[in-house]
Amino acid sequence: MKLVVQRVQHASVTIDGVETAGIGRGYLVLLGVGREDDEKTAEKFAEKVIKLRIFDDENDRINLNLAQVDGELLIVSQFTLYADTSSNRPGFTNAAPPEQANRIYEHFVEYCTQRVPVVKHGEFGADMKVELLNDGPFTILL
């Protein structure tokens, strides 16, 4: 599993010209599922995201997690995180097949939904337009 976690002031997903999901302060998570990933992998990474301490505390130290700032999550599937760029035309053979990837993605979303008050998500396999205001900017690769 590969994730890009961006601390945002706000983020949204638009499909076919309609905003389908949006959050305020929190994390935009781009999530790629690999062939070897399963539900346990999804839970491990979800816990990491939820507990990740990348918000400033009262002393301007990066020390607070999502729950401590009433943060929100926007999760977007992103198979292109598994791009093999050894040639000029990326290959995606390391990404999980769509059925497996969707199952793991949905499990990740559901797991987060049970632990974070506000969780929004994109639509698996859709042509999405993602808009965000990166806060910092602060971007973490997991």
Catalytic sites, residue numbers = 78-80
Say how many C-beta atoms besides its own lie within 10 A of residue 9's C-beta: 13
Those residues with Cβ within 8 angstroms of residue 75's Cβ, 6 or more apart along the chain or in another chain: 29, 31, 105, 108, 109, 112, 119, 120, 121, 122
The dihedrals phi and psi of 33, each to the nearest 5 degrees, come to -110, 130
Those residues with Cβ within 8 angstroms of residue 123's Cβ, 6 or more apart along the chain or in another chain: 13, 15, 20
DSSP secondary structure code for residue 69 in this structure: G
